[in-house]
């Protein structure tokens, strides 16, 4: 894909959450029914992958606890060979949640994408029954395309609007 692409997954059916993002030039976007995946390759080797998926959860009573649990769950458990840092709070326009960073620690194994960054985000609107999980896997600790995509990410609530739209 040579041009920047805007992707929008609207809330639909039982899903009261959606998202929109913009991909920079040079990345491939593959949209699934419940998620979207973005990949960048250089000389046939993966530079990074980013996946966004929607989850349903009642966030009224323990919003922070549920989001922190989602990010830790998605970041990986010890049985997957990941070392996971504690979750930290993050904020986007109209949404907030948690981020956890992980790296692969399997002895003798060096995967192509050893760095993992996971975000669990939900709109500030407490009537929204869910949020999004963003998983970034990259070859180095920093991946500029992921940074650009995350800057463009908007979590959509009912009627397909970001929580900070008027």
Fold of 5-160: Protein Transport Mog1p; Chain A (3.40.1000)
For residue 50, the 8-state DSSP code is E
Which residue ranges make up each domain of the chain?
5-160
- pLDDT tens digit sequence for 62-112: 888 888 888 878 776 444 666 778 889 998 877 889 999 887 766 666 778
- pLDDT tens digit sequence for 11-67: 766 667 888 999 998 899 888 777 899 999 999 999 999 999 988 777 777 888 888
CB atoms within 10 A of CB 136: 24
Maximum distance among all alpha carbons in the chain?
A: 53
Of 78, 70, 72, residue with least CA distance to 131: 70
The lowest-confidence range among 51-55, 140-144, 159-163 is 159-163
For residue 162, the 8-state DSSP code is B
pTM for the model stands at: 0.84
Distance CA 97, CA 123 (A): 9
């Amino acid at each position: 894909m040579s041009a920047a692409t805007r992707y929008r997954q609207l809330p639909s059916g039982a899903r009261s959450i959606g998202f929109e993002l913009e991909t920079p030039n040079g990345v491939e976007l593959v949209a699934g029914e419940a998620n979207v995946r973005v990949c960048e390759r250089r000389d046939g080797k993966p530079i990074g992958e980013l996946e966004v998926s929607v989850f349903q959860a009642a966030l009224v009573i323990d919003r922070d606890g549920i989001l922190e649990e989602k990010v830790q769950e998605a970041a990986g458990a010890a049985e997957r060979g990941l070392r996971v840092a504690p979750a930290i709070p993050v904020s986007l326009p109209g949404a907030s949640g948690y981020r956890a960073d992980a790296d692969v620690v399997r002895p003798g194994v060096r995967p192509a994408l050893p760095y993992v960054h996971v975000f669990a985000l939900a709109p500030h609107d407490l009537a929204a029954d869910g949020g999004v999980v963003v998983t970034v896997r990259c070859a180095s600790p920093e991946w500029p395309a992921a940074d650009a995509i995350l800057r463009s990410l908007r979590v959509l609530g009912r009627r397909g609007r970001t929580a900070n739209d008027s």
